[in-house]
Amino acid sequence: MNTVEIANRRKLWYLVGKRVFAALFVIAGVSHFLATDIFLKIMPPYLPFHLTLVLVSGVIEIILGILLLVPRYSRLAACGIIALLIAVFPANIHVYTHQELFPFPPLAHLLRLPLQGVLILWAFVYTRQ
């Protein structure tokens, strides 16, 4: 495989990965409206305005997912996704420390925590344009 083929393959993976990542966020954002009760369950009790936060975060996920695909705003959207993933991490910790909320195996709850880091790294790829 020559250098051009490698570069083309890398660009293809970059573009496919970006579309998949954007779709994940749009779908996740829409799910805030379709399964609001699930998102309300994971809200830490110390946060106010649970319903408002769930709906606003859903709108933000949809917007950031779409903007990730707009070249002019892609880098900004990736930075926004990173900030959002950091902002919602306390909810993941809350679910991990209150596993009775979702009866999954403890390992599944544990693996969800580093998955947030993987998503942050995935978003970081799109900040480097």
Q: How far is CA 98 from the centre of its chain?
A: 21
Which pLDDT tens digits describe the chain residue by residue (129 residues)?
788 888 888 899 999 999 999 999 999 999 999 999 999 999 999 999 999 999 999 999 999 999 999 999 999 999 999 999 999 999 999 999 999 998 899 999 999 999 999 999 999 999 986
Nearest to 126 by CA among 24, 3, 29: 24
**What pLDDT does residue 6 have?**
82
pTM of the model: 0.92
Other C-beta atoms closer than 10 Å to the C-beta of 57 total: 19
**What pLDDT does residue 97 have?**
94
